[in-house]
Amino acid sequence: MPNIIHLLPDHVANQIAAGEVVQRPASAVKELIENSVDAGATEIQLIVVDSGKTLIQVIDNGSGMPAEDLEKSFERHATSKISSADDLFSIRTKGFRGEALASIAAVAQVEVLSRPEEEDHGMCLKIEGSQITSREPAPAPVGTNFQVKNLFYNIPARRNFLKSNAVEFKHIIDEFEHVALAHPNIHFTLLHNGSEIMNLPEAVLRQRISGIFGKKYNERLVPVEEHTDVVSVSGFIIKPEFAKKTRGDQFFFVNDRFIKNGYLHHAVSAAFEGLVSHGVHPGYFLFLTLDPQRIDVNIHPTKTEVKFEDEKVIYAMLRSAIKHSLGQFNISPSLDFDSEIQLSVPPLTKGQNINPPIIEVDPNFNPFAEDSQKAPKTYSGYQPPAAPPSAGSTYEWTQLSTQAEEEAPVEKNPEVCIQLNKNYILSPLKSGMAIIHQQRAHERILYEDYLNKLEGGTAASQQMLFPIQMILSPADAPILLEQIDILRGMGFDIEPFGHNGVVIQGIPLNMKDSEIESSLEQLIEDAKNFRSEFSLAPQDWMAKNFARSGAIKSGVALEKEEMLHLIHQLFACSMPMMGIDAKPTLIHIEGDELSKRFA
């Protein structure tokens, strides 16, 4: 029987192995920047062209490598970090497997120039598909200049599976942020297609967070600091009122290594229990420092997952540290029974008299008389009609059954409606009763209104007395600017402003000033986290986003005129029965069902 087992050629084995380490341009960025950190660099520059598909270049002022080590670094499992299996449990460096450079060189055209301090010149090495094509001395500053050109040039199928430039660049920014957050003592710079995206000088952690995500984050951060024999916890949590519906601002670092860990995330969520609503995720930048022998960082090729020896203990300590910070900085209620409550009353000035309060009583006030002159309260997006509908007028209710051609029930007295639990509007029908969910109904109204304005180009804008300037992070600014034309079509008077900023001088008629920044921030988060769906229908996504932000919320009391106006506008919609999240806006209770309940 002929032998059927054979050894793969080295270049094929290297390409297969590269698939585990280099999945996309961002994978190469991560490995190269981490190598620069391990080399002791204090300045690291990342240059990217075409989202890393054409060029990834990392320049550092680290220790550099002599010629012999430079060539050896591209061999598989060549490393300076470990020499025995025991070393795996005392690792404090980023890399240690010796796979990264060999994997990158297997699927790209690589050129690297490196010089150690003790040498008077550097060595330039060129590699294509794991094969060294050139090696020669060259003048160079101390450090390493690493260029990765035409990633996956020799594996067209892999290159075809890469996403759009916007998606791939988002992944690059993510990896860049992870390393930059873990090392605020290093000066990082990021350039994309010749434009400077980030310039992060050496700073403390709070400044580094603000430098990456925007100055607005400075006031949102609450420090966390707890030290025990098992683990030290430091960093920041974000105040509960700035929690988001998407998991964007959540960063865990263990011994300065970015990790993903659902169990630890649960500990943070447990600490925020009662402070954020359901479906909203708290943000954090948390650093755990512990003995390397208590963790295993060698369980995943990308090293973003680790295994803890004392997982339950770390969970409890992390949760306790966060709850302590929330209480210490008055984020959550806490009582101090050891302190005395003192009232500060300013002293009277000489000759100053205290006037007793005056009580005025209207002798003609009748609590049972209806005050027709009372101005109704209004909520976001609604003004009551100039005159309420007269008795005897009718609504044309949209079909309540699935048969659209059947005759819909008609209400003979539309002025009869009441609010239940500040959440539902009850209104009688000829054939029974309708119970309307006020928030979902308003969302449907605003959603269709935004879409109609986008299609017809008739969006009106209310000018603001004081324009708002929003300074965004380098990663967020391009996302918002991509949608600026659609925003204008919805009624925003918005223009680019300065570096990574916009100025807003007008907003849609349905929006409040207080909702502007949160709505636009949520829009950016949606675009980042649901990019594929968002890119297919940005108008629809944005209309839903602003409808949710501007809609009347459950728990808001409504006047009769407001409820009538809501009902009128709901049934003028093309799909009044369904909310924007595919949940019903109302339920219809037939008269026969009511009769059965009282039988």
Domains of the chain, by residue range, sit at 10-202, 207-328, 392-599
- Which pLDDT belongs to residue 301? 57
Residue 98, sorted as left (phi over 0), alpha (psi -120 to 50) or beta, turns out to be left
Per-range mean pLDDT, top range of 13-22, 55-64, 369-378: 55-64
Mean per-residue pLDDT for 119-146? 94
| Average pLDDT score over the chain | 81
Non-local (6+) Cβ contacts of 174 within 8 A are 26
Do the two domains 10-202 and 207-328 of this chain adopt the same fold? no
More confident residue, 540 or 183: 183
Residue type, 337: F
Fold of 392-599: Ribosomal Protein S8; Chain: A, domain 1 (3.30.1370)
Distance CA 376, CA 372 (A): 10
Q: What is the pLDDT of residues 268-313, one digit of tens each?
A: 999 998 888 877 889 999 999 998 888 876 555 556 778 888 889 9
On whether the CB atoms of residues 79 and 31 are closer than 8 A, the answer is no
DSSP 401-467: SS-TTSPPP--S-TT--EEETTTEEEEEETTEEEEEEHHHHHHHHHHHHHHHHHHHT---EEEEEEE
Q: Which class does domain 10-202 fall in?
A: alpha beta
Residue 565 has pLDDT above 60, yes or no: yes
Q: What are phi and psi of 454, to 5 degrees?
A: -65, -40
Token pair of 84 as six digits: 């025995």
Distance CA 49, CA 469 (A): 30
The pLDDT confidence band at residue 77, using thresholds 50, 70 and 90, is low
| Candidate CATH numbers 3.30.230.10, 3.20.20.70, 3.20.20.80, 3.40.50.2000; the one for domain 207-328 | 3.30.230.10
